[in-house]
Amino acid sequence: MRMAWKSHVGGAPFGLLLQQDRLFVSLFDGAAVDELDPASGRRLASHTVAQGPAAITVDPSGKVAVAGTRGEVDYLDGTSHPAGHGFGIASVGGTLWTADYERAELVTAGGAHRAGLPLPVFPFWLAPGPGGTLLIAAEGPSEDSDPGGVFSYDGMSGAFRTLAQPRDPDQVLQSGSTVCGAAHVGSDPVAVIVSDDGRTAYVADSSPGDVYAVSLPGMRMAWKSHVGGAPFGLLLQQDRLFVSLFDGAAVDELDPASGRRLASHTVAQGPAAITVDPSGKVAVAGTRGEVDYLDGTSHPAGHGFGIASVGGTLWTADYERAELVTAGGTHRAGLPLPVFPFWLAPGPGGTLLIAAEGPSEDSDPGGVFSYDGMSGAFRTLAQPRDPDQVLQSGSTVFVAAHGDREVLAIRGGRTEKWALGAAAVAIAADPTLGVLVVTVNAHE
């Protein structure tokens, strides 16, 4: 997760859309939509629209359309149509839908059709759903404390279906064949894991320095713990939640039930992913070229972020050298493509899974590989842009393809695209509930 570029656009950027080799950004306070070069962040064009532009999509004719709080859909050629006063917009089945937040209604572009929500909640986000339906995330009267609603809407029959009632659902999307509600958690989430019983997700919120516990499937915040130090890696082990502090040169132990800090361990600067080594000890990868243990010992290793224990061997990632390195440094294996290993995970049949970023993180293809340590053979599974995480659950390998704004599900030689449009930065399987938890962060 190296920062490839930073572009100052001002005007409170809100909506994002990748289309035709352009990154479109709505400026909520700037009455404009900017076009940026996705590879460099350079501004290519700027289009004036009505005040309060919000979410962006592509309408049924293929034109970029922008929702707005002034009651219209704006196009970049200066034209507009009457619509809902709100933030959400989505194109479904040849119809462009918008959200009227204050009136708690859905409104077609042009205003010919309106549909009131089935509960007294306020539609914020819209997205395409399964079978030509529309998905709606709606906030309660008191955004952070009252239950909201997540619905599917069939525009043909006019029927709503209530999917969930979390507090403050800021986004909803379709992931594979399963519809999931989405809750707003922090401002810079970078990691997520799920408890063994499948009832709690733990999220590391890097920039603010917080860790959250979120109940599943209701997605209500159970607790928030401020740890500072840019939390990065998460591990649940022996009734402890271990959290690496990338800027804090430490690993904290938290009580998973309350978030209370139980202990803190000093490690080398830049601690990243955490795992359990073959002997059962907690081991931490780091950018200083060593694996650190909580008793103060360490072993030489790769300079990087990823770590995983496979077949009795502890593997680390050397990001800059594009190599895999065993703890102790006795064995190295160069990747088969000029990409840089970021994340490691156990794979099927004693193999190692690798998610590697391209030279230009967000624009160049990366690589997802399986590696057989016995034979030394690599197999390329996919080449998405900026794959931030890979994991195996059951017979499926999942990839958080952050640069492509999707999650890949690789099974039996076939690849499906899930969570289209979601800037997936971290994923965690929840076999108990039969879902994949996806953490979205467009800033990474």
Q: What is the pLDDT of residue 156?
A: 86
Instruction: Provide the 10 A C-beta neighbour count for residue 198.
Output: 17
pLDDT tens-place values along the chain, 444 residues long:
567 889 999 999 999 999 878 999 999 999 999 999 998 999 999 999 999 999 999 999 989 999 999 999 999 999 999 999 999 999 988 899 999 999 999 999 998 999 999 999 999 999 988 767 899 999 999 877 888 999 999 988 999 988 888 888 888 876 555 555 667 888 899 999 999 999 999 999 999 999 999 998 778 889 999 999 999 999 999 899 999 999 999 999 999 999 999 999 999 999 999 999 999 999 999 999 999 999 999 999 999 999 999 999 999 999 999 999 999 989 999 999 999 999 999 998 899 999 999 998 878 999 999 999 999 999 999 999 999 999 999 889 999 999 988 899 998 888 988 887 778 999 999 888 778 899 988 776
Query: What separation in angstroms does the CA of 231 have from each of 28, 350, 368?
Result: 30, 29, 25
Q: Which amino acid is located at 271 in the chain?
A: P
For residue 217, is the peptide bond before it cis, meaning its omega torsion is within 30 degrees of 0?
Answer: yes
Q: Which run of H or of E encompasses 368?
A: strand 367-372
Q: What does the alpha-carbon distance between residue 434 and residue 106 come to, in Å, rounded to a whole number?
A: 31
Q: What does the alpha-carbon distance between residue 290 and residue 209 come to, in Å, rounded to a whole number?
A: 24
Q: What does the alpha-carbon distance between residue 57 and residue 59 come to, in Å, rounded to a whole number?
A: 6
What tokens were used for 198? Answer: 């499948």
Ranges of beta strands (E only) in 186-297 are 189-194, 200-205, 210-215, 221-226, 231-237, 240-245, 250-254, 261-266, 271-276, 282-286, 290-293
Instruction: Provide the 10 A C-beta neighbour count for residue 103.
Output: 16
Encode 325-371 in three state secondary structure.
Answer: EECCCCCEEECCCCCEEEEEEECHHHCEEEEEECCCCCCCECEEEEE
CA Rg, the chain, in Å? 22
Nearest CA-CA partner of 167 in 182, 186, 180, 179: 182
Q: Could you give the 3-state DSSP secondary structure of residue 378?
A: strand
Q: What does the alpha-carbon distance between residue 339 and residue 347 come to, in Å, rounded to a whole number?
A: 19
| Domains along the chain with CATH numbers | 13-182 (2.120.10.30), 189-440 (2.130.10.10)
Query: What separation in angstroms does the CA of 17 have from each of 36, 83, 219, 274?
Result: 10, 20, 26, 34
Q: What does the alpha-carbon distance between residue 117 and residue 396 come to, in Å, rounded to a whole number?
A: 37
Please check whether residue 109 is in contact with residue 71, taking contact to mean a CB–CB distance below 8 angstroms.
no
CA 368 from chain centre, in angstroms, equals 17
